[in-house]
Chain A
Amino acid sequence: MWRLLGRKVLHLIPVLFLVTFATTAMPEMMKLGDSSKTPVAAKLTPDMTPADVKALEKEYGYDKPLFERYTDWVGDAVTGDLGKSIATDQPVMESIKERYPATLELAVTALLIALLVAVPLGVWSAAKAGRLPDKIMGGMSSALLAVPPFISSVLLVYLFAAPGTLGQVFPNTGWAKFSEDPGGNIEYLILPAIVLALAEIPQFLRLLRSDMLGTLQEDYILTARSKGLSTPYVLFRHALRPSSFSLITISGLTLGRLIGGTVIVEVYFSIPGLGQSIVGAIQANNDVPVVQGTVVVIAVGYVLLNALVDIGYMLIDPRVRAR
């Protein structure tokens, strides 16, 4: 087991290296397409000569060769310095610290909503396998799978946040910090969290249903039934726990994915999170340090979270350990 753990950790190192290196190489990628492009475009004014541009690039360290820039970047990054925005001169680390709570809150809420909906429906679906409720839920989850978040965003806003239709149940777009205005925070949170949850429900539901179908074939379920225990009791107390193993794993992975996947709702609902800052930085003349720093933080977090889920799985399940 320790060897497997060691291998996992060893595997992380090159992956982390490639992720960070690729983001450092962004200016080179830009110049690949068009050599007149510069990573400092945000600071350019029309009357600048090429020499001025060069000087500006030098000021931000883009004149150095890629490898030197990479070692510099890693050196700074381990001390918590991710450079500063070219457009606003704000340190990237500061902007990340300001913005990650909104993204995290959104992702966690979405995950909770998705689980709250998918677990009972998945259990019900498995219990009625092959019959009408199961078929309806199967159909609904196939349909939901084809609704990307940007479609459900506009649809839900149209239905619940516009004055014309079902009435303005929720505020249209915006954000309030939980520490400053908890009620407002929840009002603003609900629609975007539902949008994100909708995209995750079908896969949770399908996974739990199929695991549950396997569990329901076990002898101890038959025993529980023949003892005269009620159906809901058997389903939720006997069958759910052994069936939820892969669901828990997937939830962990989904949380990581959601943190990177909140971009769409953050932009549409104008929530000041990490995703919004990335899109904003791209639209504002390619603010390379902001894109680079924010993407790296999310991607590294995602890699580490995945590894933790893997390792946690290994610690819990003896079968995985033995492999």
Chain B
Amino acid sequence: MSLVETENSLGLTESGVESPGEAAAEIKAKKKRPGILWYLSLGWIGIVILMVLFADLLPAEYDKPIGESHLAPFQSWPEFLGTDYLGRSTLTRIALGARTSLIVATVPVALGILIGGLLGLASAYFRGTVEAIVDIVADALLAFPPLLLLLMLASAFKPPSVWNITAGLAVLAVPGFYRLTKANAIAQSKREYVVVARAMGAKPGRIMFRELMPNTVAVILSYAVIVMAVMIVAEGSLSFLGVGVPDPEPSWGGMVFKEKDALEDAPGQVFIPCAVLFLTVFSLNVIGDRLRAKFDVRESNL
């Protein structure tokens, strides 16, 4: 593959194709130089983490009015981001909403990696019947359009709460991680070191956890960052439909849901949570893409 940068409008280099060595060198160089976006993204995620940690130190409480409703943002402190339709501090609610987002982003992903990863390793090692059965269950879960599956689970586990939604999202996360782990572990299990380990008489547990797992974990973790972004969007979507995290518990999607009818009077109250969610998802995507480019087996030059 040659990444092309010359005059020719069709994107061909003058000499035709670059040598593989050159192309590889170019890719390596690209990997080494993280752009400004990478640092901005890390910075934003840092801010989100600070919000999660220090939300309680903010002067206003999240469920008590502090002034008139729909105060405009950027006017005064502590109503720095204005107030919502009940006069509650938007700043506090955004900061605590970060906590909700953190829970729905990390817990399902951790469960997905744990359950999906273990099943994936087992499938990759044993193949045959084990793989066939788990595959069918995973395919059935993936057969539902994701939001519909979530809605169905939300409907079964009413009334909604952060933890119910987290459980639903975990169900959503498992099949993806299962497929990814399985594919990577199968690719690894054909490599020499696994064959050697098997020839030396290593037991299944040893091969799965000491040989296959360490060599798939980097890919899984870089994928996990992207899935975290997906989970935050999914929770936001559910809350936006009014079947997510219930008020007064703050959630970014829920804040948009509650304020969307006041779009013309107080656009700030709608767009602040939107902007925060966008920046978070965008940053996670940037970080995840870079990690993936670094660790993905398909793209690295083995």
Contact = CB atoms under 8 A, between A and B. Distances in A.
A235 interface: yes
A281 B152 CA distance: 10
B227 interface: no
B151 interface: yes
B140 A127 contact: no
Interface string B141-183: 0011111100111111110000010000000000000000000
A286 B264 contact: no
Nearest to A222: B12
A234 interface: yes
Interface of A: 11, 14-15, 18-19, 22-23, 26, 29-30, 32-33, 37, 126-131, 142-143, 145-151, 154-155, 157-158, 162-164, 213-214, 216-217, 221-222, 225, 231, 234-235, 256-257, 259-261, 263-264, 267-268, 278-279, 281-283, 286, 288, 291, 295, 298-299, 302-303, 306
Interface string B1-15: 111110001111000
A150 B152 contact: no
A279 B282 CA distance: 28
Interface residues of B, number: 54
B155 A286 contact: yes
B11 A128 contact: yes
21 contacts: A19-B143, A23-B152, A29-B153, A33-B164, A127-B11, A129-B5, A130-B3, A154-B274, A162-B263, A162-B264, A260-B145, A260-B146, A263-B147, A263-B151, A279-B241, A279-B242, A291-B152, A295-B148, A298-B148, A299-B143, A302-B144
A263 B5 contact: no
B1 to A, nearest CB: 8
Contacts of A128: 9, 11
A303 B139 CA distance: 9
B243 A283 contact: yes
A151 B240 CA distance: 9
Consensus secondary structure, chain B interface: helix
Contacts of B267: 158
Interface stretch (B89-97, B208-216, B229-237): B229-237
A111 B145 CA distance: 16
A281 B164 CA distance: 19
B17 interface: yes
A150 B243 contact: no
Given A150-B237, A158-B263, A15 B140 contact: yes
B228 interface: no
B136 A15 contact: yes
Contacts of B12: 216-217, 221-222, 225
Given A155-B274, A268-B240, 4 more contacts: A147-B278, A154-B260, A162-B263, A260-B145
Nearest to A282: B155
Contacts of A157: 263
B112 interface: no
A150 B253 CA distance: 9
Given A129-B3, A148-B233, A264 B147 contact: yes
Most buried by B among A33, A151, A154, A162: A151
Contacts of A286: 155, 158
B140 A18 contact: yes
A211 to B, nearest CB: 12
